[in-house]
Amino acid sequence: MILTSPSLPYTPRRIISLVPSQTELLYRLGLETETVGITKFCIHPDAWYRQKTRVGGTKSLKPEIIRQLNPDLIIANKEENVQEQVETLARDYPVWVTDVNNLEDALQMIHDIGALTGKTGEASVLISAILKEFDQLQTTNLKPQTSNPPPRTAYLIWQDPCMTAGGDTFIHDMLTRCGFENCFAGKKRYPETTIAELQALDPGLLLLSSEPFPFKQKHADEFGRLLPGCRVMLVNGEYFSWYGSRLLDAPAYFKTLRESCY
């Protein structure tokens, strides 16, 4: 069944996570023994990636492996997992599906998973620590650093075709909190764009994410040639799109990134 509230009549002892950032959260909450399955994209922590049973990719699950693990809780995500696959799993196992589009959603997700797994106290401590870091980031952003406003920014997640992040995404919320103005704020989800459109928008800053497409320096050099006058930077996409415990370290990364843009 797909759970409609973050509660179970028992404390789960065999958890499968289908989302990399939520796998990292389970580790942070101290659920080492309870977490029995992860995806091949759950690369953090490294020890879990090497030791835990992998149940396929986020969009290509292996039901037979999941069946062998006999989970008493599966944690999925509306955006990262395939609806039909999740619904099939829900016929046999309790599934909690998260839906995260901004920082507030992420904090609620952390609270809910804490409640589901018997780690309410640990989740509350983590939430408080994340809020403190983002409050400090906001204070830093309010301080005048130069007479120029932050550059209008385009953030690419894919190369061919070029894809970016619209105004209703978690990435957009992180860009805003970082102090950048998203050129594609008026669009939904992850729209395709073109070099011609980017040239017409004339962003002052182009951020190339490390995931899901692994942009490298050669791509930055090419975009720099095509967009003269635009600063092109490679960024760690985990800080912009991982909405679990990675949020604790994201503000420090954003602060450094913002400072480097002046």
Of the candidates 124, 89, 102, the one whose C-alpha atom is nearest the C-alpha of residue 18 is 89
Of the candidates 248, 253, 256, 206, the one whose C-alpha atom is nearest the C-alpha of residue 226 is 206
The enclosing domain of 256 has a CATH number of: 3.40.50.1980
Q: pLDDT tens digits, residue range 107-116?
A: 999 999 999 9
Q: What is the DSSP string of the chain?
A: -B-SSS--SS--SSEEE--HHHHHHHHHTT-TTTEEEE-TT--SSHHHHHHSEE-EETTEE-HHHHHHH--SEEEEETTTS-HHHHHHHTTTS-EEEE--SSHHHHHHHHHHHHHHHT-HHHHHHHHHHHHHHHHHHHHHHHS--SSSPPPEEEEEEETTTEEE--TTSHHHHHHHHHT-EETTTTS-SS-EE-HHHHHHH--SEEEEESSSS---HHHHHHHHHHSTT-EEEEE-THHHH--SGGGGTHHHHHHHHHHHT-
pLDDT beyond 90 at 148: no
- What percentage of the chain exceeds 70 in pLDDT? 97
pLDDT attached to residue 262? 66
pLDDT attached to residue 139? 81
pLDDT attached to residue 141? 72
pLDDT attached to residue 178? 93
Structure tokens given for 62: 């292996």
Q: pLDDT tens digits, residue range 2-18?
A: 999 999 999 999 999 99
**Beta-strand pair 192-193/162-164:** antiparallel
pLDDT attached to residue 36? 98
**Beta-strand pair 205-209/231-235:** parallel
Q: Are 121 and 152 contained in the same domain?
A: no
The structure's pTM equals: 0.93
Last residue of a domain, one of 129, 164, 189: 129
Mean pLDDT, residues 89-101 taken together? 97
pLDDT beyond 80 at 231: yes
pLDDT beyond 70 at 142: no
pLDDT beyond 70 at 147: no
User: Does residue 119 fall inside a structural domain?
Assistant: yes
Question: Cα–Cα distances in Å, from 197 out to 2, 193, 201, 235?
Answer: 41, 6, 6, 22
Q: Are 152 and 117 contained in the same domain?
A: no
Last residue of a domain, one of 129, 158, 177: 129
Domain count, the chain: 2
Are 108 and 170 a contacting pair, CB within 8 Å? no
Q: Are 117 and 154 contained in the same domain?
A: no
Please state the three-class secondary structure of 108-120 as a single string. HHHHHHHHHHCCH
User: Does residue 103 fall inside a structural domain?
Assistant: yes
Mean pLDDT, residues 120-139 taken together? 96
- What percentage of the chain exceeds 90 in pLDDT? 92
User: Does residue 2 fall inside a structural domain?
Assistant: no
Q: Measure the CA angle with vertex 224, ends 222 and 255; round to 5°.
A: 120
Last residue of a domain, one of 129, 163, 190: 129
How high is the mean pLDDT of the chain? 95
Q: Are 112 and 193 contained in the same domain?
A: no
Range of the domain at 91: 15-129
Mean pLDDT, residues 22-36 taken together? 98
